Amino acid sequence: MIAPRVMATDVYFDMSIISAIAKRDTPDETEAILRVLRAGNAGRLSLCTSEVSKEEMEKYYGEFRPTVEAIYLLMKKANYVNRQELNGMNVQIDKYTCINSPMIEDNPLWLDLLRLGLKALDAHQLTVAIRNACHVFLTSDRDFLIKERKATIETRYGIRLRRPSELVNEEGL
């Protein structure tokens, strides 16, 4: 008899987690991060990040940059979601002038997350995770974990915002 296949929990790694692996700057979460990585390797979790992490990484030039980049390159990438879309150009021309202005539409989810107080790249990371139907957004960034903001995001979008240690406890890893 074949055992039923259990679907893996989709976990999105925020840049704070990728950075923590390289820098080892969150010692209280190190063992939990390793357990999450092992569970990903065993197929219990499906781990990913996105090009937004690369955007954040490109602003960092510290001594751990090569290790941070190596970890990023090894991770599966979620489908990219734009913050803004170019819908066309408004062009006005007369005898002496030519004015071109872009018509840009902001992603409504990204805008909503900005209104909740997240920084632009943080809101973009979470937008990608939500649009890729991830179950968990793994982070150590306090901006995501503010109690009221976290509860609003989890209720509104059905994604769990967790520290690695919280995920380990919930998933029994």
CB 75, CB 13: distance < 8 Å: yes
User: What are the residue ranges of helices labelled H in 14-119?
Assistant: 15-23, 30-41, 51-57, 65-74, 108-115
Give pLDDT, residue 107: 84
Percent pLDDT > 70 in the chain is 96
Domains of the chain: total:
1
Percent pLDDT > 90 in the chain is 57
Say if residue 131's pLDDT is above 90.
yes
Is residue 2 one of the residues assigned to a domain? no
State how far the Cα of 63 lies from the Cα of 164, in Å rounded to an integer: 24
Say if residue 146's pLDDT is above 70.
yes
* Confidence tier at 165 by pLDDT (50, 70, 90): very high
Is residue 4 one of the residues assigned to a domain? no
Inter-CA distances, 83 with 44, 53, 119, 134, 170, Å: 31, 14, 12, 18, 31
Say if residue 120's pLDDT is above 90.
yes
* Per-residue pLDDT reduced to its tens digit, 28-85: 999 999 999 999 999 899 999 999 999 988 888 888 888 888 999 999 999 998 887 7
Segments forming the whole domain that contains residue 164: 9-171
pTM, whole model, 2 decimals? Answer: 0.85
Mean pLDDT of the 87-98 span:
79
Is residue 1 one of the residues assigned to a domain? no
Is residue 42 one of the residues assigned to a domain? yes
The CATH number for 114's domain is: 3.40.50.1010
CB 87, CB 105: distance < 8 Å: yes
